[in-house]
């Protein structure tokens, strides 16, 4: 098994972030402009507060019939999201993303969010190698429930 660090596969795209007081519409426009599926919510010092994803937009705004112009990110974001850091491997990230059904995983270093690992950033050879383990994890989880 490879032990590639997750930070080594992060793409060169810029971090898309906003504050809790930004409207959902403005966040959706940011995601469209930057061709990404998430916005990290930060404090002024780049400390991670939450994340707002396309999934949050669909389930917490559209399906809940909320107005994207008046709904603020702080009302519909996922607070205190799970993160990865400098010592986490790609395999750690794959396991976390699969188990929690995430498509976006913030990368935090020195208490500052610097990037987001997206499912599409994951190396195909690592995903392929992990398939037997992921299938087994899914099977076991389904049996427990």
Residue-wise pLDDT tens digits, 94-117: 889 888 888 999 999 999 999 999
Beta strands 48-53; 78-79: pairing state: antiparallel
For residue 121, name the pLDDT band (cuts at 50, 70, 90). Answer: confident
pLDDT for position 1 = 46
First to last CA, the chain: 30
Q: Which one, of 77, 125, 71, 141, lies nearest residue 104 by Cα?
A: 77
Q: Tell me: pLDDT of 79 over 70.
A: yes
Mean pLDDT of 63-89: 96
Q: Which two tokens stand for residue 89?
A: 């491997």
Per DSSP, 14 falls in state P
Q: Tell me: pLDDT of 23 over 80.
A: yes
pLDDT for position 33 = 95
How far, rounded to the nearest angstrom, does the alpha carbon of residue 107 sit from its chain's CA centroid? 9
Higher pLDDT, 72 or 129: 72
Q: Are 116 and 31 in contact (CB under 8 A)?
A: no
pLDDT for position 143 = 74
Beta strands 17-18; 38-42: pairing state: parallel
């Amino acid at each position: 098994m490879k032990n590639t660090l997750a930070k080594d596969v992060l793409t060169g795209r810029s971090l898309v972030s906003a504050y809790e007081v930004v409207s959902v519409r403005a966040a959706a426009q940011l995601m469209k402009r930057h061709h990404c599926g998430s916005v990290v919510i930060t404090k002024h010092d780049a400390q991670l507060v939450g994340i707002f994803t396309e999934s949050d937009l669909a389930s917490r705004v559209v399906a809940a019939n909320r107005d994207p112009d008046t709904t603020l990110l702080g009302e519909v974001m996922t607070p205190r999201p799970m993160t990865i850091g400098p010592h986490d491997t790609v395999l750690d990230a794959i396991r976390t993303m699969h188990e929690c059904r995430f498509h976006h995983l913030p990368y935090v270093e020195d208490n500052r969010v610097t990037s987001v690992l997206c499912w599409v950033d994951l190396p195909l050879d690592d995903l392929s190698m992990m398939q037997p383990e992921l299938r087994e994890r899914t099977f076991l989880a389904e049996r427990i429930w």
